[in-house]
Amino acid sequence: MAKESKGTNYVRLAVGAGLLAAAAVSIAVFVPRRRLAAITEPLMQLGKLPVAAAVTAWAMRLWQDATAPQAPVFDDLRPFDEF
């Protein structure tokens, strides 16, 4: 039987973070500053809304739940030996 992991997969998390970092660096290098400022202005206005604070708080709570210490899971159904 294959083991099933129900926890966080840190390899996928690291790969996703690396892809986001690569995208951010490529945008910073290849897009002119004026055009970037014109594109990001509406996003700056969205960041001032209370919904943005609520989404940030929700994401932080998800992060805390994912990184919280957990008790070990024993899925062995054999009886305990006391010999």
Question: What is the distance between the alpha carbons of residues 25 and 30, in angstroms, rounded to a whole number?
Answer: 9
Could you give the angle at the alpha carbon of 17 between the alpha carbons of 25 and 45, nearest 5°? 65
pLDDT at 2 over 60: no
Determine the Cα–Cα distance for residues 50 and 53; give it in Å rounded to an integer. 5
> What torsion do the CA atoms of 35, 41, 42, 44 make, to the nearest 10 degrees?
140
| Number of domains, the chain | 1
**Would residue 74 count as lying in a domain?**
no
Residue 26 included in any domain: yes
Domain ranges, residue 35: 12-67
pLDDT per residue as tens digits for the range 24-75: 999 889 989 898 888 889 888 988 899 989 999 999 999 999 888 888 777 6
User: Residue range 2-8: average pLDDT?
Assistant: 60
User: Where is pLDDT greater, at 21 or 73?
Assistant: 21
* CA distances from residue 16 to 6, 11, 21, 72 in whole angstroms, order as listed: 19, 9, 9, 27
Model's pTM, two decimal places?
Answer: 0.42
Residue 81: is its pLDDT beyond 50?
Answer: yes
Residue 4 lies in a domain: no
- Two tokens at 38? 């014109």
Tell me whether residue 80 is in a domain: no
pLDDT band (50, 70, 90) for residue 80: low
